[in-house]
Chain A
Amino acid sequence: MKATGIVTGIISNLVTVRFEGDVAQNEICYIDLGGTKMMAEVIKVSGKNAFVQVYESTRGLRQGDKVEFEGHMLEVQLGPGLLSSSYDGLQNNLATMDGVFLKRGEYTAPLDHDKVWHFTPLAHPGDTVYAADWLGEVKEGWLPHKIMVPFSFKDEYQVKSVAPEGDYKIDDTMAVLTDQQGEEHIVTMVQKWPVKVAVGGYVEKPRPFRIMETGVRCIDTLNPIAEGGTGFIPGPFGCGKTVLQHAIAKQGDAEVIVMAACGERANEVVEIFAEFPELIDPHTGRHLMERTTIICNTSNMPVAAREASVYTAMTICEYYRAMGMKALLLADSTSRWAQALREMSNRMEELPGQDAFPVDLSAIISNFYARAGIVKLRNGQTGAVTVIGTVSPAGGNLKEPVTESTKKAARCFYSLAQARADKKRYPAVDPIDSYSKYLEYPEVVEYLKERVSKDWVDKVLRAKNLIRRGKEISEQINILGDDGVPISYHEQFWKSELIDFVILQQDAFDPIDSLCPFERQEFMLSLVLKICDIPFQFDDYEQCSAKYKEIINVLRQMNYSVFRSEQFNQYLEQLNTLLNHEQ
């Protein structure tokens, strides 16, 4: 028996409902506003009153309006067709909505129920299976989309029958399973899962040991992120957070990308809609959109759905991870999600924590990042969810609750520096403040030795040292003046500038420079470090800076040229002449 109720109070999107029957925390309900059913979620129960946050504007709602509870939490539908779709935070398909404006209470089906998929069975009658085991697969784009035993199935099942190879729709019966009591259960291509609960069904979650390549030098070379790892990008506005995230989305070495545009600008999402269908995945040569799902809850869309959007995105990633795939979740921006929590907490008149955020903010954030990870499936395969979130710290000050909480939860920190952005040194990732904890993992170091070269990590650490030294020296030069320090100081400074201009800076809008594969990163870093080893003889500091500027200019032209092309080799030759001339 589902509960019902009536509206008794309204403050913005927080509605109080007096209910009959039983309701659960986080249960979904629908409020009837003159025939329009508006979705809401229970966030607190007190006596016979349920406090619900409404995922729509409450304009026109009256005291006494009817409410029906649904008996389940906010769920998403999981099945073939998720990729290349664009959803709002509640998984409504944005493409199939009518009209230009969003209408209240318009909920659209996330998956196409009429589309035909070609199914190939993987399990056999008589097999013993558990939740998340593979029963068969369909081709979704170029990816083998596994049809699994639903995550919600508990304990052991016997496969009674599996559909033979052929064409099916998502609601067709793909398998029949028998539980230990002898009861039969039908499995279709679709299953539902509550977004706020982590998907299980794997054997273990080992420490990440592989690197996820992004083609962005200041990440891959200096502070690489692991497959199944977590990272975050805090930065004041105007420092290039979104450009950096888009670059990772375009180039990241993952099979599935889910982008959660959470409370951000609509035009940024439109950019994805406009560009991604045209772009080619550098790893497979297929259209980028085919491996991408967009969860879009822009800043002007209902606040409560913002919170749901990051969980919806995470659940979809976990679903693909259970198929043995590498999924990447990009959440932009987690601060907006935290602000949505703050708005609700405020309306519920809870005692506030720091900056009026709810006191359990830190726990909520670390819970979310903890859902990332590489997992070993029951069949021995691995799957991964890598999470990169952005944080928009108020006033650019990193000593605020969202940044501090995320710092505790995420292992990579890509700090965007205003000073670098002001100088147009993009990406503005601060090379000194940023870090990757994964460089301290012995298994990751081993992996890099195999993947790149034996002395790679040493080279990276050396480059970092040169940058650090360069910064110290530039401060001294600022105090003592160009003439007040020995020429060797200027040389040290320019070595760090060399690394800055050639390795750290990267033109995200240049078709060639924007994507830098590991081989190329290895080549360029080795080349730059070799130049740093040359004992130049300078008469004065102006000669020193002039020389390095020349070198930098040639190296930058190389960055703009196709790797090992004729043009590239010409610049290399030009560089060699420039350097040999010196010795």
Chain B
Amino acid sequence: MSNKAFQRTYTRLEAITKATVTLHAQGVSNDELATVSGRLAQVVKIKGDLITLQVFSGTEGIPTNAEVLFHGEPPTLAVSDELAGRFFNAYGDPIDGGPKVEGERRQIGGPSVNPFKRKQPSQIIPTGIAGIDLNNTLVSGQKIPFFADPDQPYNAVMAQVALRADVDKIILGGMGLSNDDYLYFRHEFENAGALNKIISFVNTTDQPPVERLLIPDMALTAAEYFAVNKNEKVLVLLTDMTLYADALSIVSNRMDQIPSKDSMPGSLYSDLAKIYEKAVQLPSGGSITIIAVTTLNDGDITHAIPDNTGYITEGQLYLRADTDTGKVIIDPFRSLSRLKQLVQGKQTREDHSQVMNASVRLYADAQNAKTKLENGFDLSDYDGRCLDYAKDYATEILSIDVNIGLTEMLDTCWKIFAKYFSKAETGIKQEFVDKYWPAE
């Protein structure tokens, strides 16, 4: 950071906590950056001339006579086309051994798009995974998280989705990524030969947790550069947002704020919304789509983090191990893409939504039959057919290793319907049954 004329140095700290320091200083502005003993910090509270700074990398070893230098501006990122293909840390400094990126310095966490100037998302992002494309279609400009247990292959699925999706840039925001996962992403991106369209901001588990707070804003500032200035389709991957929220709670705790549910700060909803609402379809054609990961504690979605996330994002995707087929599937019951009706039947075949609903309803009937079976009851003929259907449906449609086009997905569903059910049992609109029911 270059020295500026108005920079002033202070050397007397009044208070130190695990994440913050407090000192007397003049002319300091809210949100501005400072350096405390060489570590980056940000102004979070001003009370008279008493300034509280949040030190990103923690306050271990900071003495009361630490040198504090105010930068006069909030955190920034240099944006230009040179970002493409590069790996950065939470401060936007390269970690791939390459040179510093030259470009316009932009404040991160910038203003929101005027909702009136947004365009309605209308472009499908096909992934080849039927559990997504058929049942939970993704749309550009959407924000959607995977709700996953820590043992599930969420990062692998996300990388797969990203690499198959037809987008101009992929931006990875890795928070508390294990070093193995970081290397996995790097390896996958390099292998796909797609490195030139990928930008990564990574904070690994061995780095201080509070630093993570910068990652989403860094990633999204880069995304806005490509979407707004270059009219590109940008896909942002954020993993793991639960660790981001944990960092928020650490800071608010150190600042003596009264916690609300699950010891999260009362502003958690607004904090998460600020990030996710950066997803946008711009009138100029550029777009930002966000796919995030929120890890769950033992599948508990009533915890404040997944709960608030669910209210902000446009749906959620669940992974589940299907014990009958041994496959990892996208759970059709709890997963939801809220924007799917914007493209289903419009950009996809007319029978899409009816086929989707019928297939899920029949799968639900199969679950009921399974419960009956487990409780030791006799199964009806219909129950038996439902169970057989469920196996085919899980293997050929829900499994994440499926990679086919949408029309093929629809045809596959019709094929399985005809194999096990009568036309009336599907409950699909007559005109579609007449048109698409496979010939005997």
Distance A62 CA – B27 CA, assembled complex (angstroms): 6
Which residues on A sit within 8 Å (CB–CB) of B376?
481
B-binding segment of A171-179, A336-344, A370-378:
A336-344
Are A481 and B377 touching (Cβ within 8 A)? yes
Indicate whether B302 reaches chain A with its CB closer than 8 angstroms: yes
Indicate whether A517 reaches chain B with its CB closer than 8 angstroms: no
Which residues on B sit within 8 Å (CB–CB) of A356?
258-261, 266
CB distance from A548 to the nearest CB of B (A): 11
Are A482 and B115 touching (Cβ within 8 A)? no
CB distance from B278 to the nearest CB of A (A): 8
Q: Per-residue CB proximity of B109-139 to A under 8 Å, as 1/0?
A: 1111111111111000000000000000000
Are A545 and B110 touching (Cβ within 8 A)? no
Which residues 534-551 of A sit at the B interface, judged by CB distance below 8 A? 541-542, 545, 549-550
Indicate whether A121 reaches chain B with its CB closer than 8 angstroms: no
Which residues on A sit within 8 Å (CB–CB) of B270?
263, 299, 303, 339, 343
Distance A317 CA – B184 CA, assembled complex (angstroms): 56
Are B277 and A556 touching (Cβ within 8 A)? no
Which residues on A sit within 8 Å (CB–CB) of B333?
422
Which residues 205-225 of B sit at the A interface, judged by CB distance below 8 A? none
Are A94 and B307 touching (Cβ within 8 A)? no
Q: Which residue in chain B gives the minimum CB-CB distance to A61?
A: B30
Given contact pairs A9-B46, A99-B114, A296-B115, A238 touches B310 in the complex (Cβ within 8 A): yes
Q: Per-residue CB proximity of B249-265 to A under 8 Å, as 1/0?
A: 00000000111110000
Interface size on A, residues (CB 8 A): 78
Indicate whether B53 reaches chain A with its CB closer than 8 angstroms: no
Distance A356 CA – B257 CA, assembled complex (angstroms): 11
Give the contacting residue for B115; candidates A57, A266, A556; CB below 8 A.
A266
CB distance from A313 to the nearest CB of B (A): 15
Indicate whether A120 reaches chain B with its CB closer than 8 angstroms: no
CB distance from A18 to the nearest CB of B (A): 10
Which residues on A sit within 8 Å (CB–CB) of B273?
263, 298-300
Which residues on A sit within 8 Å (CB–CB) of B274?
299-300
Which residues 1-33 of A sit at the B interface, judged by CB distance below 8 A? 8-12, 16
**Chain B interface (Cβ within 8 Å of chain A)?**
26-32, 44-49, 74, 107, 109-121, 141-142, 228, 257-261, 266-267, 269-270, 273-274, 277-280, 282-283, 301-304, 307-308, 310-312, 314-316, 333-334, 336, 338-339, 341, 353, 357, 360-361, 364, 371-372, 375-378, 380-382, 424-425, 427, 429-430
Which residues 56-102 of A sit at the B interface, judged by CB distance below 8 A? 57-64, 86, 94-95, 97, 99-102
Which residues on A sit within 8 Å (CB–CB) of B278?
300
Q: Which residue in chain A gives the minimum CB-CB distance to B119?
A: A270
Distance A94 CA – B116 CA, assembled complex (angstroms): 6
Are B430 and A395 touching (Cβ within 8 A)? no
Are A542 and B380 touching (Cβ within 8 A)? yes
Are B302 and A300 touching (Cβ within 8 A)? no
Are A339 and B266 touching (Cβ within 8 A)? yes
Q: Which of A301, A541, A557 is the most central at the interface, judged by chain B CB atoms within 10 Å of its CB?
A: A301
CB distance from B260 to the nearest CB of A (A): 4
Give the contacting residue for A394; candidates B118, B282, B304, B382; CB below 8 A.
B304
Are A299 and B424 touching (Cβ within 8 A)? no
Distance A157 CA – B257 CA, assembled complex (angstroms): 53
Indicate whether A553 reaches chain B with its CB closer than 8 angstroms: yes
Are B315 and A238 touching (Cβ within 8 A)? yes
Are B277 and A298 touching (Cβ within 8 A)? yes
Are A101 and B114 touching (Cβ within 8 A)? yes
Are B378 and A481 touching (Cβ within 8 A)? yes
Are A346 and B378 touching (Cβ within 8 A)? no
Q: Which residue in chain B gives the minimum CB-CB distance to A87?
A: B116
Give the contacting residue for B360; candidates A10, A86, A424, A556; CB below 8 A.
A424
Are A483 and B118 touching (Cβ within 8 A)? no
Distance A35 CA – B26 CA, assembled complex (angstroms): 20
Are B29 and A394 touching (Cβ within 8 A)? no
Subset of 29 A-B contacts with CB under 8 Å: A9-B47, A59-B30, A59-B109, A63-B48, A64-B27, A94-B115, A95-B116, A97-B117, A101-B110, A102-B111, A237-B310, A238-B338, A263-B270, A266-B112, A266-B115, A267-B279, A298-B277, A300-B278, A342-B260, A343-B267, A346-B267, A394-B261, A395-B304, A396-B307, A422-B334, A424-B360, A478-B371, A556-B427, A557-B429
Which residues on B sit within 8 Å (CB–CB) of A343?
266-267, 270
Distance A103 CA – B110 CA, assembled complex (angstroms): 10
Which residues on A sit within 8 Å (CB–CB) of B115?
94, 266, 269-270, 273, 296, 298, 301
Indicate whether A423 reaches chain B with its CB closer than 8 angstroms: yes
Which residues on A sit within 8 Å (CB–CB) of B430?
557
Distance A11 CA – B46 CA, assembled complex (angstroms): 6
Q: Which residue in chain A gives the minimum CB-CB distance to B364?
A: A423
Are A265 and B314 touching (Cβ within 8 A)? yes
Which residues on A sit within 8 Å (CB–CB) of B44?
11
Q: Which of B315, B375, B380 is the most central at the interface, judged by chain A CB atoms within 10 Å of its CB?
A: B380
Distance A357 CA – B258 CA, assembled complex (angstroms): 10
Which residues on B sit within 8 Å (CB–CB) of A478?
371, 375
Give the contacting residue for A299; candidates B32, B113, B277; CB below 8 A.
B277
Are A62 and B382 touching (Cβ within 8 A)? no
Are A483 and B377 touching (Cβ within 8 A)? yes
Distance A125 CA – B99 CA, assembled complex (angstroms): 81
Are A60 and B74 touching (Cβ within 8 A)? yes
Are A86 and B353 touching (Cβ within 8 A)? no
Distance A299 CA – B278 CA, assembled complex (angstroms): 11
Distance A557 CA – B432 CA, assembled complex (angstroms): 12
Q: Per-residue CB proximity of A288-313 to B under 8 Å, as 1/0?
A: 00000000101111010000000000
Distance A94 CA – B115 CA, assembled complex (angstroms): 8
CB distance from A518 to the nearest CB of B (A): 25
Given contact pairs A100-B117, A238-B316, A560-B429, A59 touches B48 in the complex (Cβ within 8 A): no
Given contact pairs A104-B111, A395-B302, A550-B424, A10 touches B119 in the complex (Cβ within 8 A): no
Q: Which residue in chain B gives the minimum CB-CB distance to A340?
A: B270
CB distance from A488 to the nearest CB of B (A): 18
